[in-house]
Structure 1
Amino acid sequence: MPALPAVLRRPAAALLLLLVAPGACGVTAPAPGDVPVIRPEVLQELPHDPSAFTQGLELHDGTLYEGTGRVGESQIRALDPATGAVRAAAPLPPSYFGEGITVAGDRIWQLTWRDGVAIEWDRATLRPRREVPVAGEGWGLCRDDGARVVRSDGTDRLRFHDPRDLAETGSVAVTLDGDPLPRLNELECVGDRVWANVWQTDRIVRIDLATGVVDLVVDAAGLLDPARRAGADVLNGIAHVSGDEFVLTGKLWPAAYRVRMGDPVRR
């Protein structure tokens, strides 16, 4: 595994912290070592199915959509965002390993990990419409304001796709402090930024889609208290609510959290 950039290894207290609003336009790219680091402020704890191996999370029109993974267990789900109750669910073909999801109009796209396809679901019925080929691995997925679908594949590159058929249209390399940042996982597009879990860490990064530069790091260590970590997997699930509020969860987590990406504290 490649080494993580230093800002993902240092404790938050040892970093320069600046006030940056989520999705803000016109933010100047930070100088190396000066990327702001914040901690999320928990506003509410929400129920979450501890058997859900969360790979994608997105809130749309009052429904929380969740894509889950693992061979033979992968699903697309529509949830009540307040209670976590499953309103509807559909399984993927039993040999598929489900990954990230995003809503695109009246459909939902869902990636598979190494199966080479994405599934298009009817959003109203959660019935599959078709499968389309996708080159490389599928990790995270979101739709940006530029009418593109953005995909992560475990590398340091975000790939852009046409929302109609997921044809690839371009890509951008992601850097943090000038170094490539690999293992980008679950994605959430907000304005001209994309928020990405960094796999196997408790960190989320915010990326400028125009440049690929990380301009904010979220330190979510301790979000799930240690007493409930047994049996849980990594942080992986970002759904934008509004403004600077998000819902965060993880794979096999017994809870989700409505959070505010709170004001940083200068060191």
Structure 2
Amino acid sequence: MKLVLISIICGAVALSSCKSNDGKSSYAGFKLPEQGQSFGLGQEVKVELEIPANEEVKKISYLLDGKPLGTQDGTGAYTFATKGLSLGYKQITAILENGNTKDTITTNIVLKSSIQPKLFNYKVINVFPHDTSSYTQGLEYHGGRLLESTGEYGSSSLRWVDLKTGKALQRVDLDPKYFAEGSTLIGDKIILLTWRENVGFTYDAKTLKQNGTFTYQNSREGWGLTFDGKRIIKSDGTNRIWFLNKDTYKEESYVDVYDNNGPVDQLNELEYIDGKIYANIYQSDNIAIIDPNTGAIEAYANLTGILPAKDKFANTDVLNGIAWDAVGKRLFVTGKKFDKLFEISLIPVTK
């Protein structure tokens, strides 16, 4: 959650050190909203400024995260809608103009989800073998095969796996200095992340021959990866989801993920299913179903008990790995060093 803390600190610094164009300290401040005040997505935000009676203001321009919100002549309350915005910390800027002079002040608010997430249980439809040496980091289904990337230093790999047998049809091992993370298929190319090495790899999907590299610009680590047909979607272990250009791999935008209680971090392996992002939450049995436009968690799928106790071994690790058969409408899940991969259906929890 370093990114959130940085946002708070930056907002506080900006508020306490505002300067006008002539270098003098700001004469104005925010009465409303309060610094760091929370609002539910969809709520209106009322902005009121504290301006000394002896100061004349002819025009005020408002910005949200640097983008214009609107203007008003003179002083008075200003209100803006939050419907359609993404969640997380937002910076409000007010630019006060009086003839040839300008004064700029800022404050921060946080937009939280107002959605009560739906709850799902599961039903196991089919069970398939899974290699217990696979520390599963990425998982996708393509044309009867699974694309799987596995982690850990010294044993990281990228594989095409036969669904029915769980055996690798093709495999390439990474240099021991790399810890492989999420992977995704884009056309004839596979994109693979590494954990803390700040580098990603590209491979030929047919031969698994490495043919390129790229670096991360903003995110601190590589965790999960998926593709929505237009953008690469990436997690980094926080509550932030990044959207990357599919050709340049540049991080172009992001959403912060919240449920109705606050930010939800440890977002791990990802899958894009029918317009939503499905994300494993690391070290839990929950899968979050996320609106990619706002970052709001719309539902949780609780997969507690999917791997029976009798099938857990000394090296069996946590649930991780979601794959979607878009043609057959089949959902697959597994875990790190699980001996099974499950085809499941999600069942709404009724009260």
Q: Which range, TM-score by smaller chain?
A: 0.7 to 0.9
TM-score normalised per structure 2: 0.65
Confirm or deny: 8 A CA contact 1:244 1:261 kept in the other structure: no
CA drift at 1:250: 0.3
Unaligned runs of 5+ in 2: 3-112
Q: Distance in 1 between matches of 2:249 and 2:142?
A: 20
Considering fraction of residues, name the structure with more strand: 2
Whether 1:225 and 2:308 are equivalent positions in the alignment is yes
Q: Distance in 2 between matches of 1:63 and 1:157?
A: 30
Give the fraction of aligned pairs with identical amino acids, expressed as a percent: 37
Output one character per residue of 1:11-55: Cα deviation in whole Å (capped at 9) or x when no partner.
xxxxxxxxxxxxxxxxxxxx8573111112100110000010000
Unaligned runs of 5+ in 1: 3-30
Alignment counterpart, residue 208 of structure 1, candidates 250, 269, 291: 291
Q: Distance in 1 between matches of 2:171 and 2:254?
A: 32
Q: Please, which moves more after superposition, 221-230 or 112-121?
A: 221-230
CA drift at 1:229: 2.0
CA drift at 1:265: 3.3
Higher relative contact order (CA 8 A, sep 6+): 1
In the alignment, which residue of structure 2 is the partner of 1:76?
Answer: 158
Change (3 A) 1:94 1:166: same
RMSD: 1.9
Q: Which runs of 4+ in 1 moved over 3 A?
A: none
Whether 1:238 and 2:322 are equivalent positions in the alignment is yes
CA drift at 1:244: 5.2
In the alignment, which residue of structure 2 is the partner of 1:94?
Answer: 176
Q: Distance in 2 between matches of 1:61 and 1:105?
A: 13
Alignment counterpart, residue 240 of structure 2, candidates 144, 157, 178: 157
Kindly provide the amino acid, as one letter, of the partner of residue 202 in structure 1: D
Confirm or deny: 8 A CA contact 1:236 1:250 kept in the other structure: yes
For the residue of structure 1 that corresponds to 2:310, the secondary structure is helix
For the residue of structure 2 that corresponds to 1:129, the secondary structure is strand
For the residue of structure 2 that corresponds to 1:39, the secondary structure is strand
| Equivalenced residues, count | 239
Kindly provide the amino acid, as one letter, of the partner of residue 276 in structure 2: R
Whether 1:257 and 2:342 are equivalent positions in the alignment is yes
Q: Distance in 2 between matches of 1:169 and 1:61?
A: 30
TM-score normalised per structure 1: 0.85
In the alignment, which residue of structure 1 is the partner of 2:228?
Answer: 144
Q: Distance in 2 between matches of 1:62 and 1:44?
A: 15
Kindly provide the amino acid, as one letter, of the partner of residue 58 in structure 1: E
In the alignment, which residue of structure 1 is the partner of 2:124?
Answer: 42
Output one character per residue of 1:106-140: Cα deviation in whole Å (capped at 9) or x when no partner.
00100000001001010000010011111420000
Q: Distance in 1 between matches of 2:239 and 2:297?
A: 11
For the residue of structure 2 that corresponds to 1:40, the secondary structure is strand
Q: Which has the larger radius of gyration?
A: 2
Q: Distance in 2 between matches of 1:71 and 1:95?
A: 6
CA drift at 1:191: 3.0
